[in-house]
Amino acid sequence: MATRSSRRAATQRFSQWSLAPFHLGSLIGPYNGGGFPIIFPILQGVFHVDRTALSVIIPAYFATFGLCQFFSGTISDLTSRRVVILAGFGSFGLAALLCALAPNLRLFVLGCLLLGVTNAFTTPILLATLGDALPATQLPRTIAVFSAANQTGHLIGPLIAGLLVAWSWRLFFVSVALVSWIAGAWLLVWFHRHGHVVPPRPRAPSLGHALRELLAALDRGVAQVVALAFLANAAVMGTAYLLGQALRDLWQLDYATIGLVVSLYGLGAILFGPPAGLLLERFGAQRGAALGLLAISSTVAVMAAAPHPWVFAAAYLTLGLAAMLTWTAFSTLAVQAAPSHRGTASAYFLGARFLVQGLAPALYTPIYGAFGPRVMFALSAAIALSAFLPLWLLRPPSRSS
């Protein structure tokens, strides 16, 4: 139960600049993942393996990231947001350094596994901390900026990877480690200055009592938000690891051009970040989510039929716009779904989102091999439409949350 002081703290408003370390921290995961489509074809030659064998790195990172979020948020709910966040960013940098130094596929996969584990203790806990510290009226706009910063990783990750591979693919993972440690240091400073606004985690009489409270808070609304995240990201990012391969197979593009095309998703998301927050404040999260899902399905269908690489690029830019609106709406619903256990609800939401990205190769790799990239994208468009069912069943969040 929130104390009187914690309720007072939750009324304090922050400028977006004062929350900048949260926004920087939010882009670490997509920055790392955004480099995978560029590095994926290169690693086939480096480690002398085929596409199917190398596909193991995708679940090693994304599925592990998704699965670990099903307990990382609970750990932060039962212990300390500050400790969990700082440990997460420090160890994420170390895991990235292991990938950079890996001499063979086995150690590279181990590095990807550790990246997935440690990343589970970064973004979802940052999102929960914002829900703890900010008043409800400031959440939609702040989450829009947070989501835009998160999507910035999809812009700069492919761009920087495309540039660095001219020297060595290993340099990209060195850059991931450096950005992670910078974000962690900045967050340490933020907690030193503003940590008092984050309500202390209430101490339950026993672990069993805490777990019973947790289970009571995770109701049908949380389950439906989790289903939304699972289906939507299967459509949006499930095929991302094969984008570089698809662009080479369809139009024989070079790696620098592929990096530019793949980065357009992040650019679209950044451009639509602030407008997305304003739209959600005006029309509500559920209506915004419905509009976003419709736009996602339409743009992925255009990608499936694109006759020219720049038509594909324009559609991928538009997909970033649509995804920004959708993820901002979904993130707002997730933060409001279980106010007493925001860490767990946020982590479950993000866990489902990235779990499906890790499981996607089991679906998309054989589809790509048997039918090619266009059928793969058409399937993604159909999956986006299926997310309307859990959205339609979702109860509107109460204003008090």
The answer as to whether 8 is a domain residue is no
Residue 5 lies in a domain: no
Asked if residue 98 belongs to a domain, the reply is: yes
Give a three-class secondary structure readout of the chain: CCCHHHHHHCCCCCCCCCCHHHHHHHCHHHHHHHCHHHHHHHHHHHHCCCHHHHCCHHHHHHHHHHHHHHHHHHHHHHCCHHHHHHHHHHHHHHHHHHHHHCCCHHHHHHHHHHHHHHHCCCHHHHHHHHHHHCCHHHHHHHHHHHHHHHHHHHHHHHHHHHHHCCCCCHHHHHHHHHHHHHHHHHHHHHHHHHHHHCCCCCCCCCHHHHHHHHHHHCCHHHHHHHHHHHHHHHHHCCCHHHHHHHHHHHHCCCHHHHHHHHHHHHHHHHHCHHHHHHHHHHHCHHHHHHHHHHHHHHHHHHHHHCCCHHHHHHHHHHHHHHHHHHHHHHHHHHHHHCHHHHHHHHHHHHHHHHHHHHHHHHHHHHHHHHHCHHHHHHHHHHHHHHCHHHHHHCCCCCCCC
Task: Please tell me the pTM assigned to this model.
Answer: 0.67
The tens digit of pLDDT for each residue in 146-160 reads 877 877 787 788 888
pLDDT (0 to 100) of residue 298: 92
* Span 269-301, pLDDT tens digits: 777 766 776 777 677 777 877 888 898 999 999
Q: Hey, what amino acid is at 138?
A: Q
Residue 3 lies in a domain: no
Q: Report whether pLDDT(311) > 70.
A: yes
The helix (H) or strand (E) run that includes residue 348 is helix 342-371
For residue 2, what is the enclosing H or E element?
Answer: none
Rank 166-180, 184-198, 204-218, 325-339 by mean pLDDT and report only the highest.
Answer: 166-180
**For residue 398, pLDDT beyond 90:** no
What is the C-alpha end-to-end distance of the chain, expressed in Å? Answer: 13
Please name the residue that has the structure tokens 């509107």. 396
Question: What are 7's two structure tokens?
Answer: 């309720």
Structural domain includes residue 260: yes
Higher pLDDT, 298 or 356: 298
Range with lowest mean pLDDT among 29-43, 164-178, 222-236, 340-354: 340-354
- 378 found inside a domain: yes
For residue 149, what are the domain limits?
Answer: 17-393
Kindly state whether residue 386 falls inside one of the protein's structural domains: yes
pLDDT digits (tens, 9 = 90+) for 187-234: 998 888 876 666 665 555 555 555 555 555 555 667 777 788 888 888
pLDDT for position 7: 39
| pLDDT (0 to 100) of residue 216 | 56
Distance of CA 169 to the CA centre of its chain: 23
- Whole-number CA gyration radius for the chain: 20
Task: Identify whether 347 is part of a domain.
Answer: yes
Residue 115 sits in a domain whose CATH number is: 1.20.1250.20
8 Å CB contact between 234 and 383? yes
Residue type for position 15:
S
Report residue 16 as tokens.
């977006």
CA angle 233, 234, 240 (to 5 degrees): 85
Q: How many domains does the chain have?
A: 1
